[in-house]
Chain A
């Protein structure tokens, strides 16, 4: 494709350029900040925002009814007490992982191409974690007593059980949400200062001014700022790997056949990154087309993300194969039955659809022709999101519905309230995300400046 800038290389350092040629510090600043400050809000922005707002109303309705009637309005019945709620929780939190991977791990690995996608990917993380967090809270039964999960001196004289993975989850997810929010905000400060300096509207100037906290781009501040970014990235990297590991402990520590497996932590982390990159693509592809950002989010970015998806997809595929192999090799009749029931039981269509979505369809990404076709990438990403949701559904529902004793077997069916709550969190996500697109720079301006060839200091000017 002609947009592909990979053949041009910066003269001084030999780094491949990731931004289309012809940009200067001023043009990238103006281009990104004008989306927030001066351009009219485009019509296409209202479409997802309105859909998001409507679904958010659905969410509030569903949650309101849940508060009145209790979790019985969902389809959760013995033996499947986790149902859609936990499926959605694991799905959303997995999506968040790609944002942290892009912002933290790729920063440590010096993958500078990430500079033009990390901001909105981090925002995606934040909002995905917000959506994820609602499910275990609502699933508690009495969500208003969620603070009982934390240890504090109380008149009931009871304390949480720290040997339970569910309590680990509380700490892992709340730490993840806090650290992601701080990382995102610290990353925003220099750009908030840019918006403050460029805003003409008094209210905008005051708001961005307060948020920028008086940032003035001093060299002594930049030096500490860079250290802080690296340190936060170094902290977020093990954190993000630990979060989905802890989520997988919710399953592996239990003895349910199909759950009790040591392969789960890496398999969950890979799956999380797989679905997360799919969500980044689903957001990036329409955004770059609508706001004309093809010169900042180039085909090279999409190509790289497709490769990450392909790689994590292969890890997930390997895990599926090995899960089945270990079940057979273990000689444990319950393990063997769990897998056999997945493949041929009443929920077999979901299993085979999952295999198609996660294993078969994304294999097209091996070919460059498909990796550089935005429509194809968009469809593949939606397919991976569906596949990863099905994976969690299969793990949760299909494992629980038939465990050791046939007398305790049962079937699971979601109710309209399950669907309303899930669709509602998609609404919450869209609502928050497009609010962010409208009010904050969706691409990190100061980091994109460093990608320009002009940002390199040429030595020997004075010596």
Chain B
């Protein structure tokens, strides 16, 4: 279902106002809400109920995969594919495999962090409706925005706009698709 507009956006002057507004919007029952700010604000995350984060799990999987890859690769090369007998010393000389196992654990986990972050955020994203609001360019400078999306069941073009205005924003604007 395509809504006529993407949502309604209110602009605030400081992080405290944004956090307070986000809390009131959530209390009112809106759920499809997103805040935009020039830096991370813990209180806003809390107000919007952002607790779930699958990134650590992705990183853990990446790390385990990297460790296994590192160790098994060395085992395969040193024991199976290219065994070198040096005075009868054991081929499976695990202490000397630790370093590369460790390095590949870090490498895979770090790659998983970056790809996981981009994947979970849906980046790169060439187009997004919020940029249609002219003043939104200030979200990366010194302004704080709160957007209630039109797909929220409680959304009403006029009532929601009135409600947002009651939160004492600098201005409320409609976000075109």
Interface size, A (range) = 35 or more
The number of residues on chain B lying at the interface, defined by a beta carbon within 8 Å of a beta carbon of chain A, is 69
Q: Which of B117-147 contact A (CB under 8 A)?
A: 117-118, 120-121, 123-128, 130-131, 136-142
Asked if B102 is an interface residue, CB under 8 A from chain A, the answer is yes
Minimum CB–CB distance for B7 against chain A, Å: 12
Selected from A24, A167, A190, A232, the residue in CB contact (under 8 A) with B142 is A24
B20 A462 Cβ-Cβ under 8 A: yes
Q: Which residue of B lies closest to A151 (CB)?
A: B77
Bound complex: CA of A171 vs CA of B102, how far in Å?
Answer: 10
B93 lies within 8 A of A163 (CB)? yes
Give Cα A198 to B140, complex, Å: 9
Q: Does B67 contact A (CB under 8 A)?
A: no
Q: Are A231 and B39 in contact (CB under 8 A)?
A: no
Which residues of A are found within 8 Å of B20, using beta-carbon distances? 461-462
Asked whether any CB of chain A lies closer than 8 Å to the CB of B65, the reply is no
Would B106 and A175 count as touching, CB distance under 8 A? yes
Contacts of B176 in A (CB 8 A): none
Q: Which one of A186, A231, A462 lies within 8 Å of B56 (CB-CB)?
A: A231
**A456–B17 Cα gap in the complex (Å)?**
11
Residues of A contacting B44 with CB < 8 Å?
A: 219, 457
Q: Which one of A197, A246, A458 lies within 8 Å of B141 (CB-CB)?
A: A197
- Which residues from chain A contact B121 at a C-beta distance below 8 Å? 218, 220-221, 224-225
Rounded to whole angstroms, the CA-CA distance of A214 and B53 in the bound complex is 21
Q: Which residues of A contact B82 (CB under 8 A)?
A: 157-159
In the complex the two chains form, what is the Cα distance from A30 to B15 in whole Å?
Answer: 19
Q: Are A457 and B117 closer than 8 Å at their CB atoms?
A: no
Q: How many contacts between A and B, using CB within 8 angstroms?
A: 196
- B24 CB to closest chain A CB (Å) equals 6
| Min C-beta distance of B76 to chain A, whole Å | 9
Give every chain B residue within 8 A of A182 (Cβ-Cβ): 110-111, 113-114
* B-chain residues with CB within 8 Å of residue A455 when the two chains form the complex: 15, 39, 41
Alpha-carbon distance between A196 and B125 when the two chains are bound, in angstroms = 14
Known: A171-B104, A225-B117. A193 touches B140 (CB 8 A): yes
- The 8 Å CB contact of A163, one of B22, B37, B78, B116, is B78
Q: Does B100 contact A225, Cβ atoms closer than 8 Å?
A: no
Q: How far apart are the CA atoms of A194 and B139 in the complex, in Å?
A: 8
Question: Which residue from B118, B127, B140 sits with its C-beta under 8 Å from A194?
Answer: B140
Which candidate, A123-131, A411-419, A444-452, is the interface stretch facing chain B?
A444-452
Q: Is B81 an interface residue (CB 8 A)?
A: yes
Chain B interface residues toward A at CB < 8 A? 14-17, 19-20, 22-24, 34-45, 48, 50, 53, 55-56, 59, 73-74, 77-78, 81-82, 84, 93, 96-97, 99-100, 102-104, 106-107, 109-111, 113-114, 116-118, 120-121, 123-128, 130-131, 136-142
Q: Considering the complex of A and B, which 3 residue pairs feature the smallest CB-CB distances, nearest first?
A: A25-B142, A214-B125, A213-B124
